[in-house]
Amino acid sequence: MDHKKVRVRFAPSPTGGLHLGGVRTVLFNYLFARHHRGEFVLRIEDTDQTRYVPGAEEYIIECLRWCGLEADEGPHKGGPFAPYRQSERKALYRQYAEQLVQSGHAYYAFDTPEELEAMREVEKARGNHSPQYNHSIRRSMRNSLTLEAEEVKALLEKGAPYVIRINMPENGEVQFTDMIRGTVSFQTNTVDDKVLLKADGMPTYHLAVVVDDYLMKISHAFRGEEWLPSAPVHILLWKYLGWEKEMPQWAHLPLILKPDGNGKLSKRDGDRLGFPVYAMNWTDPKTNELTKGFRENGFLPEAFVNMLVMLGWSKGTDQEIFSMEELIEAFSIEKVHKGGAKFDYIKAKWFNHQYIQKTDNVRLAELFQPVLKEKGIAFDATYVSTIAGLVKERCHLVNEIWDHGFFFFIRPDKYDLDAVKPKWNTDKQTFFEEWINVLSGLEDFTFAPIEDSFKQLTAAKGIKPGELQLPFRIMLCGGKFGPPVFTIAETLGREETVERMKLALAAFA
RNA sequence: GCCGCGUUGGUCAAUCGGCUAAGACGCCUCCCUUUCACGGAGGAAUGACGGGUUCGACUCCCGUACGCGGUACCA
Enter the ipTM. Answer: 0.95
A199: nt with nearest C1' to CA: B73
Whether any strand B atom is under 7 angstroms from the Cβ of A394: the reply reads: yes
Q: Determine the pLDDT at residue A1.
A: 45
Whether any strand B atom is under 7 angstroms from the Cβ of A204: the reply reads: yes
Q: What is the largest CA-CA distance in chain A?
A: 113
C-alpha to C-alpha distance for A309 and A301, rounded to whole angstroms: 12
The list of chain A residues with pLDDT below 50 reads: 1
Q: How far is CA A119 from the centre of its chain?
A: 41
Which residues of A does the annotation mark as catalytic?
Answer: 267
What Å value separates CA A271 and C1' B27? 25
pLDDT digits (tens, 9 = 90+) for A148-186: 999 999 999 999 999 999 999 998 999 999 999 999 999
Whether any strand B atom is under 7 angstroms from the Cβ of A111: the reply reads: yes
DSSP A155-186: HHHTT---EEEE---SS-EEEEEETTTEEEEE
Nearest to A336 by CA among A489, A179, A462: A179
Whether any strand B atom is under 7 angstroms from the Cβ of A416: the reply reads: no
A488 close to A482: Cβ distance less than 8 angstroms: yes
pLDDT digits (tens, 9 = 90+) for A202-254: 999 999 999 999 999 999 999 999 999 999 999 999 999 999 999 999 999 99
Contacts 24+ apart (CB under 8 A), A457-463: A457/A431, A458/A431, A461/A427, A461/A430, A461/A431, A463/A427, A463/A428, A463/A431
Helix (H, G, I), strand (E, B) or coil at A252: strand
Which residues neighbour A431 within 8 Å (Cβ) at sequence distance 6 or greater?
A457, A458, A461, A463, A468
A224: nt with nearest C1' to CA: B69
Q: Determine the pLDDT at residue A3.
A: 60
DSSP A53-122: -TTHHHHHHHHHHHHT---SBBTTTB-TT---BGGGGHHHHHHHHHHHHHTTSEEEE---HHHHHHHHHH
Structural domains of chain A, ranges and CATH numbers in brackets: 1-74+254-344 (3.40.50.620), 89-207 (3.90.800.10), 417-508 (1.10.10.350)
- Check the annotation: does A421 bind a ligand: no
Q: Determine the pLDDT at residue A509.
A: 81
Whether any strand B atom is under 7 angstroms from the Cβ of A131: the reply reads: yes
Q: Which nucleotides of B are covered by protein (CB under 7 A)?
A: 1-8, 10-15, 22-26, 34-38, 67-75
